[in-house]
A and B are shown apart, each in its own frame.
Chain A
Amino acid sequence: MTTINSKIPEGKLSEKWSEYKSHQKLVNPANKRRLDVIVVGTGLAGGAAAASLGELGFNVLNFCIQDSPRRAHSIAAQGGINAAKNYQNDGDSIYRLFYDTIKGGDYRAREANVYRLAEVSGNIIDQCVAQGVPFAREYGGLLDNRSFGGAQVSRTFYAKGQTGQQLLLGAYSALSRQVQNGTVKLYTRYEMLDIVLIDGRARGIIVRNLTTGKLERFAAHAVVIATGGYGNTFFLSTNAMGSNGSAAWQCYKKGAYFANPCFAQIHPTCIPVHGEFQSKLTLMSESLRNDGRIWVPKNKEDAEAIRAGKLKPTQIKEENRDYYLERRYPAFGNLVPRDVASRAAKERCDAGYGVGSTGLAVYLDFSDAIKRLGVKTVEARYGNLFQMYEKIVDENPYETPMMIYPAIHYTMGGIWVDYELQTSIPGLFAAGEANFSDHGANRLGASALMQGLADGYFVLPYTIQNYLADQIQVPRFSTSLPEFEAAEKAINDKIHKLMNIKGKRSVDNIHKQLGLIMWEFVGMGRNKEGLQTALKEIKEVKREFWSNVRIPGSGSDLNTEMEKALRLADFIEIGELMAYDALHREESCGGHFREEYQTEDGEALRDDRKFSYVACWKYTGDDKEPELLKEDLNYEYIKVQQRNYKS
């Protein structure tokens, strides 16, 4: 049986990372030029990694599917980025950020990785400020912080409601500087379709030039995958339309383990679904929960009247409102972690108290905040979010409460990586949301930006050298090697096959069907029976896709339907693995809620005795059951507890 080696350095938790850095192998400057590194993705992790590796002197090839690296979906993160700076003197520390992240992740993350994340979090803020990221400041000229879900300190740095944008533009500018310096070569509108292994090591990729539709080959000494998450398996999610799991999935199919695929985060504050033609869900920053209060009517009759359009939320008296988060979780109130807030909303709506025309929405009310702080302050904090809401919903949130509902937002699961961010394929690394590493079963708000940048700026540029140091004798590979030939041929065959189906249904049409199955059975609440149904129905979708999809145009030209079809082919399989993983994990933790496993008052019930491990899935062949490998999680520094946000 294969064993999992996560390569966690020996020593005290707080010294592991510095110990590692002191003893790792490095590549000398003259040799760096001779080593090629492929980085797929230009988001916070990919962009930061490509820029940093370029600065070090490696020869970097950087790919993205958008027309510019600046458009990666990291840009859409609104709220902020966590860092244990303790600028507010409110008792924050590296340990506390580490502890909050492990606890928020429901004790399913690796201690050493999370500690390192907390350790470098401060450096990220320093780096970004040096790049000219315009973080919000106090009148005294120092950086401002806000609080975020799952934490009792204010450690979130922000740039209006556009923190992700500003951080990404910081990484993008660093990347642009390296492009100018000639260390990074950019390939925009390129999509990775396969990874090429030579003698078991990652040595290149096959990409499709999306503008010409032609396949191209690229070789390198190491490959970094930073292609984000697979939330779009659900069709409707807060991810961008182009976000996909295909690059990660190809790695899985070539032997990289896929870890904890069922850990998907549902974000509690999204704009509710309004119709079947809807193409995506828009997130409203979690920071809104700082000042907004979440409620539904206390009486079912009121909820029904609201749904029928007979009653307005502002007409419901204070005593008839149920601020259910404040009621259930007095200590954290509206700031409970995302999974808790999402499930609580679903619970209220399922019980018949939901609002909006569909009954699948709850209120997020700012009237108290406006009374307390004044319109001006509220506008300064959330103005752009309110404007966005008004543009989409056509209601003024200053006057009437916003409506929100949970939606798929982030996937904690991803390609398994060791402490060095290396996957189970030597020479293949994964960073950012694409890997599984730091968030356990649930990610805290403002931690995704932190992890992406930590991986890209401060972790990968070190750890990848430990691998590359042994590669300096390896000459550049030719892309006409049989391994490249074979990989390209396989893709050509796949494209050919897809083009020849000539069925009746569009890609989106089938994708929506998959999305409904996922949301219904592999969404916020899961159970054995439902998951088994999902597995059956997903197989059906797969059959339907491969026999009835219609792709107009040509396979070897710009073809957006072909792009989507290739992604959907993988989403179907990812969905299957998610259901598979969810079925095997007979406990509730974080974003994975199994209805059979809950406490009497409806909270998630973990089973640490049986499931305190990372589920690593190994590909064994098409339509074959994947093999489960377990990486045990040993908590040496944190006492594992039932998560409690009540007191």
Chain B
Amino acid sequence: MDKTINITLKIWRQKNPKTKGNFETYPLKNISIESSFLEMLDILNEQLIHEGKEPVVFDHDCREGICGMCSLYVNGHPHGPDEDVTTCQLHMRKFKDGATITVEPWRSAGFPVIRDLMVDRTAFDKIIQAGGYVSVNTGGVPDANSIPISKINADEAMDSASCIGCGACVAACKNASAMLFVSAKVSQLALLPQGRIEAAHRAKAMVAKMDELGFGNCTNTGACEAECPKNISISNIARLNREFLTAKIKD
């Protein structure tokens, strides 16, 4: 039989964006260490429903670490104490028997709480809408192999593109800066000839939108990189700064 542990959960409960929230404490017994963190929350919710209480609301979807829907600030870490994973891939074997686990929503003015642990991340969509694309319509594009791209650039673009838009960078940053998210998209497209054409406009438009939406100013602490489940590097931020500044100076 699997090893099990007993834990105490301190979970942020908040009815809606306007009301004040507070922590509730829930003891949980016999949680298999093989279960994932979200499966553990499922068990809690099953228990709450059984007691006639409302379950804890949290965002989650694919549960394989790619959709970027799950969030949660667990014991002082966005996505919890394991490295390079999202909360859905965090497993209970990372916690000790008898542990108290504090679970909070992402905290940032840019991500208001909707309910309990669920936050509103539409700000990220708005930033992408400001310029996170190559302006091509469907059809009428050249053959895929007509422009060779060096493997080094393609691979680096892929590394930047692996951002899942979860918002852990903002949640981890003491300034609630969205620079890692924005720079990942700007970098991906700046590294490819297809995206290069609009690179200057893109950097300016996306940064302007990011500022407008009230994200903080990057102070290069590197917290975003440390907590990013997809290991996006802050070298992307340097590239964004470079793209932005050269674009502005050229104007």
Point out residues on A near B: beta carbons under 8 Å: 48, 51-52, 55, 66-73, 75-76, 85, 87, 122-123, 125-143, 159-160, 162, 164-166, 169, 172-174, 176-177, 179-180, 186, 188, 211, 238, 240-242, 274-275, 277-280, 282-283, 387-388, 391-392, 394, 457-458, 461, 506, 508-509, 550, 552-553, 558, 560-561
A52 and B161 in contact (CB under 8 A), knowing A188-B122, A275-B35? no
> Chain B's nearest CB lies how many Å from the CB of A604?
30
CA distance A550 to B142 in the complex (A): 56
* Cβ A388 vs Cβ B61 within 8 A: no
CA distance A186 to B4 in the complex (A): 44
* Cβ A166 vs Cβ B161 within 8 A: yes
CA distance A416 to B195 in the complex (A): 39
A552 partner, pick from B54, B91, B144, B188, beta carbons under 8 A: B54
CA distance A129 to B55 in the complex (A): 44
- Whether B36 is near chain A, meaning CB under 8 Å from some CB there, is yes
- Which segment, of B97-105, B131-139, B215-223, faces chain A? B131-139
CA distance A277 to B89 in the complex (A): 15
* Cβ B32 vs Cβ A211 within 8 A: no
- Whether B34 is near chain A, meaning CB under 8 Å from some CB there, is yes
Residue in A87, A130, A506, A560 whose Cβ sees the most chain B Cβ within 10 Å: A130
Q: Which of B133-185 contact A (CB under 8 A)?
A: 133-139, 141-145, 148-151, 154-155, 157-158, 161-162, 164-165
A-B residue pairs in contact (CB < 8 Å), sample of 6: A68-B121, A68-B125, A76-B66, A126-B141, A141-B154, A186-B125
CA distance A240 to B88 in the complex (A): 11
* Cβ A76 vs Cβ B67 within 8 A: yes
* Cβ B162 vs Cβ A165 within 8 A: yes
Q: Kindly list chain A residues whose C-beta atoms are within 8 Å of the C-beta of B59.
A: 67
CA distance A561 to B42 in the complex (A): 12
* Cβ A174 vs Cβ B133 within 8 A: yes
A391 partner, pick from B82, B132, B138, beta carbons under 8 A: B82
> Chain B's nearest CB lies how many Å from the CB of A190?
13
Closest to A51 in B: B138
* Cβ A71 vs Cβ B69 within 8 A: yes
CA distance A371 to B141 in the complex (A): 42
> Chain B's nearest CB lies how many Å from the CB of A119?
14
A69 and B125 in contact (CB under 8 A), knowing A131-B133, A134-B188? yes
Extra contacts besides A75-B67, A552-B55 (14): CB < 8 Å: A55-B137, A75-B62, A76-B67, A130-B194, A141-B150, A162-B66, A165-B164, A177-B133, A180-B131, A211-B114, A240-B61, A241-B61, A275-B34, A552-B53
* Cβ A67 vs Cβ B120 within 8 A: yes
Closest to B49 in A: A506
CA distance A162 to B64 in the complex (A): 12
Q: Kindly list chain B residues whose C-beta atoms are within 8 Å of the C-beta of A169.
A: 161
A274 and B145 in contact (CB under 8 A), knowing A69-B125, A160-B158, A279-B39? no
Q: Kindly list chain A residues whose C-beta atoms are within 8 Å of the C-beta of B149.
A: 137, 141
CA distance A210 to B240 in the complex (A): 36
* Cβ A241 vs Cβ B63 within 8 A: yes
Q: Which of B197-220 contact A (CB under 8 A)?
A: none
> Chain A's nearest CB lies how many Å from the CB of B44?
11
> Chain B's nearest CB lies how many Å from the CB of A50?
11
CA distance A129 to B68 in the complex (A): 23
A76 and B128 in contact (CB under 8 A), knowing A137-B149, A138-B151, A391-B89? no
* Cβ A561 vs Cβ B49 within 8 A: yes
Point out residues on B near A: beta carbons under 8 Å: 2, 16, 32, 34-36, 38-39, 42-43, 45-46, 48-50, 52-55, 57, 59-69, 82, 84-85, 89, 91, 93, 114-115, 120-122, 124-125, 128-139, 141-145, 148-151, 154-155, 157-158, 161-162, 164-165, 188-189, 192, 194-195
Closest to A184 in B: B129
> Chain A's nearest CB lies how many Å from the CB of B245?
22
* Cβ A283 vs Cβ B64 within 8 A: yes
CA distance A241 to B43 in the complex (A): 15
* Cβ B57 vs Cβ A137 within 8 A: no
* Cβ B39 vs Cβ A73 within 8 A: no
CA distance A34 to B128 in the complex (A): 27
CA distance A457 to B158 in the complex (A): 23
A143 and B46 in contact (CB under 8 A), knowing A132-B192, A165-B162, A173-B134? no
* Cβ B52 vs Cβ A552 within 8 A: yes
CA distance A494 to B135 in the complex (A): 44
Residue in A176, A186, A188, A274 whose Cβ sees the most chain B Cβ within 10 Å: A176
> Chain B's nearest CB lies how many Å from the CB of A63?
14
A139 partner, pick from B131, B151, B158, B195, beta carbons under 8 A: B151
Q: Kindly list chain B residues whose C-beta atoms are within 8 Å of the C-beta of A159.
A: 158, 161
CA distance A560 to B62 in the complex (A): 16
* Cβ A135 vs Cβ B125 within 8 A: no
The 7 nearest A-B residue pairs measured at CB: A141-B148, A173-B133, A130-B141, A134-B158, A134-B157, A129-B144, A52-B138
Q: Kindly list chain B residues whose C-beta atoms are within 8 Å of the C-beta of A506.
A: 45-46, 49-50
